[in-house]
Amino acid sequence: MTRHGEANSLSGFSLDDYRIKRAEEVMTPALAIYPQIVDANINTTIRLLGDDANRWRPHVKTAKLAFIMRRMVDRGIRNFKCSTTLELTTLCETGAADALVAYPLVGAGVRRVREIAERFPATEISALVETIEQIEAWDGSRVGLFIDVNPGMDRTGVEQDRADEIVRLASAVRRSQQPFRGLHYYDGHLSKYEMAERERVAHGGYDRLLKIVEAIRQAGIPVEEIITAGTPAFPCSLSYTGFKAALFTHRASPGTIVYGDCTSLAQLPREFGYRPAALVLSTVVSRPAPGRITCDAGHKTVSADSGVPTCRALGRADLRPAKPSEEHLPIDVSQIDVSRPANLPAIGETLYLVPMHICPTVNNFDHALIAVDGCVIAVERVTARGREAPLVL
């Protein structure tokens, strides 16, 4: 998707729906979460999945807050993904029934997940494996195992064309007495394609994935679950007919859509109805040059991992964020209407920023404002921010 598309993804959203009364009393930068919009995004996802909450395994690297995870559990979502042991612990504490650590764990990470699994027997916990050695590391635990399949992203997993190796691993899991849960297939690299090509490439990969499932079945091993699709590939999983009548349970795992950001809103069809539900409040602190302002939302506030611009200002299409430094975000003000000079925001004015990538942005904050109908009704801790202590003595 182009940066132009990301800017246009905010068209149609009114700043009036996000303004916070007495915002000048908020010490910025601040993360604001709008739970009514979060609920609407959750309901939209369940609707797209045929009103079946059991088909969604959201990744909580986005949600981060126990406050939001509880809302998801209360809506009937029982299956989740996470990447860190702190996220896993938070999920268990908030009542998740099933949690997959979708990260290749080794060494002390394995030990810690085994400890968490013993501490929270009510939560079914699983991990990813891609080698025999990783399978052996879970021996004697109650942790279930998914085989991680590499769909071409080349980040983790067994290459998709090595079906014989995947069958061998599934057989090894069965012999180990660990529960074999199924296959994990994260096709996040498909975000680089426009929608028609994205769907074509995704469906080709899913065809190959089903052949792997059949090979495992031919080896006498049942496949319980197949997990695909972060946010960019979510529409592709929805449209793939091979998942609809399968003998296994298919679950999609988009997490970003809980809050939304400029990138995800550009990648998903507008008719889905997703809205941004987490914004960064920032204050203009300087007007250092003609046509330029600076606000307090540097890359320690709004993640810069998606490049520049790091965000867009809701309701101000004329603002063009430039390259941030640690605590400063310079913004150029374009003259959209040539008949009148550019309208520079005043020093002290509040801007409502929609990040390009919300997941690591949420992780930058210790607390979040909970805003309903223009009022801050609570301040919630970003429970799963960061990581657990690396060594417990």
Question: 366-392, pLDDT tens digit by residue?
Answer: 999 999 999 999 999 999 999 999 986
Please check the confidence at residue 240 and state whether its pLDDT lies above 80.
Answer: yes
- Domain membership of residue 179 (yes or no) is yes
Residues 110 and 139 grouped into a single domain: yes
Residue 280: predicted pLDDT: 98
Pairing type for strands 367-372 and 30-33 reads parallel
Joined together, the tokens standing for residue 182 give 């199924």
Task: Write down which residue in 192, 219, 253 finishes a domain.
Answer: 253
Pairing type for strands 225-228 and 180-185 reads parallel
Residues 88 and 219 grouped into a single domain: yes
Identify which has the larger pLDDT, 1 or 221: 221
Please check the confidence at residue 219 and state whether its pLDDT lies above 90.
Answer: yes
Residues 72 and 151 grouped into a single domain: yes
- Within 10 angstroms of residue 271's Cβ, the number of other Cβ atoms is 5
Read off the pLDDT of each residue in 13-38 and give the average, rounded to a whole number.
97
| Reported confidence tier of residue 232, pLDDT bands at 50, 70, 90 | very high
- Alpha-carbon 138 to chain mean position: 27
Three-state DSSP class for 7?
A: helix
Comparing CA positions, the residue from 130, 127, 97 lying closest to residue 113 is 127
Task: Write down which residue in 221, 253, 285 finishes a domain.
Answer: 253
pLDDT, one tens digit per residue, over 32-50 is 999 999 999 999 999 999 9
Residues 290 and 239 grouped into a single domain: no
* CATH number for position 148: 3.20.20.10
- Residue 308, judged by CB atoms within 10 A of its CB (0-12, 13-18, 19+), counts as middle
Query: Could you give the dihedral angle defined by the CA atoms of residues 43, 201, 304 and 258, in that order, rounded to the nearest 10 degrees?
Result: 10
- Domain membership of residue 296 (yes or no) is yes
- Within 10 angstroms of residue 359's Cβ, the number of other Cβ atoms is 23
Q: Which amino acid is at 253?
A: S
- Domain membership of residue 132 (yes or no) is yes
Alpha-carbon gap, residue 116 to 202, rounded angstroms: 35
Residues 284 and 199 grouped into a single domain: no
Residues 186 and 320 grouped into a single domain: no
Q: What is the DSSP letter of 351?
A: E
| Reported confidence tier of residue 2, pLDDT bands at 50, 70, 90 | very low
Residues 100 and 232 grouped into a single domain: yes
Residues 246 and 119 grouped into a single domain: yes
Alpha-carbon gap, residue 48 to 63, rounded angstroms: 20
Residues 67 and 169 grouped into a single domain: yes
| Reported confidence tier of residue 177, pLDDT bands at 50, 70, 90 | confident
Comparing CA positions, the residue from 260, 252, 250, 251 lying closest to residue 229 is 252
- Domain membership of residue 351 (yes or no) is yes
- Domain membership of residue 214 (yes or no) is yes
Task: Write down which residue in 193, 224, 253 finishes a domain.
Answer: 253
Residues 204 and 62 grouped into a single domain: yes
Residue 6: predicted pLDDT: 61
Alpha-carbon gap, residue 117 to 90, rounded angstroms: 13
Please give the tally of structural domains in the chain.
2
* CATH number for position 318: 2.40.37.20
Structural domain of 214: 57-253
Q: Are 213 and 41 in contact (CB under 8 A)?
A: no
- Domain membership of residue 33 (yes or no) is no
Residues 204 and 353 grouped into a single domain: no
Residues 219 and 74 grouped into a single domain: yes
Read off the pLDDT of each residue in 51-65 and give the average, rounded to a whole number.
98
Residue 335: predicted pLDDT: 74
